[in-house]
Amino acid sequence: MNAIGEERANTSSARKHFRRLDAGTQAQTERPETERRFSGWLQQWAVRNGAQRARVPLDSKERSIRLSRVDAELPQDYLEITEQTEGLEFKDCAVFGLSDVREFAGDDGNYYLLAELNGRGVLGVRAGSQDRRVFYLGYDHDQDEYLSFREAMGYYFENVTGKATGRQSQAPNA
């Protein structure tokens, strides 16, 4: 990481640019783990897909600060996750908490990254967007678009890890 909080990663032949949203501030200490007890749809979703670790959620003030640094409308279901946990880890992927959201300079624009899928790619929303659509950005340059965060994660769980998620719709570009 350089002095202004940027990270560079090589993926295939393309050079990608990541920018920490809290660049210039003191590094966050790792949030403590919490029991994986959730409410609403998140409870069943976490159990069904094998959530392994969860972090204590941010308080409302810190949550507001983090959200103000994102120039996009985040998916409602992702926001519901971050109300209950500041990150959720599964065997093969991780949902980032608001403290871990990064801005990513892709070939076709900037994105805010919300999850990493076992070295295959990331899920994010386009910077400046208001439609809350989620994009899969594969490290092999594959790309798909989803109407919700749960739909994108469901596609990954069902088609990559082999877990049946009860997902109702198909990926638009699948």
**With bands split at pLDDT 50, 70 and 90, how would you rate the model's confidence at 10?**
very low
Question: What's the pLDDT score for residue 5?
Answer: 34
φ/ψ (deg, to 5) at 157: -60, -40
Q: What integer is the mean pLDDT of 76-101?
A: 95
Question: What's the pLDDT score for residue 11?
Answer: 36
- Domains of the chain: which residue ranges? 31-161
The percentage of residues in the chain with a pLDDT greater than 70, rounded to a whole number, is 71
Q: What integer is the mean pLDDT of 16-23?
A: 42
Are 107 and 14 spatial neighbours (Cβ–Cβ below 8 Å)? yes
* pTM tops 0.85: no
* Statement: residue 135 has pLDDT above 80: yes
Residue 5: count other Cβ atoms within 10 Å of its Cβ.
16
**With bands split at pLDDT 50, 70 and 90, how would you rate the model's confidence at 34?**
low
Question: What's the pLDDT score for residue 125?
Answer: 98
Task: Give 45-84 pLDDT, tens digit per residue.
Answer: 999 999 999 999 999 999 999 999 999 999 999 999 999 9
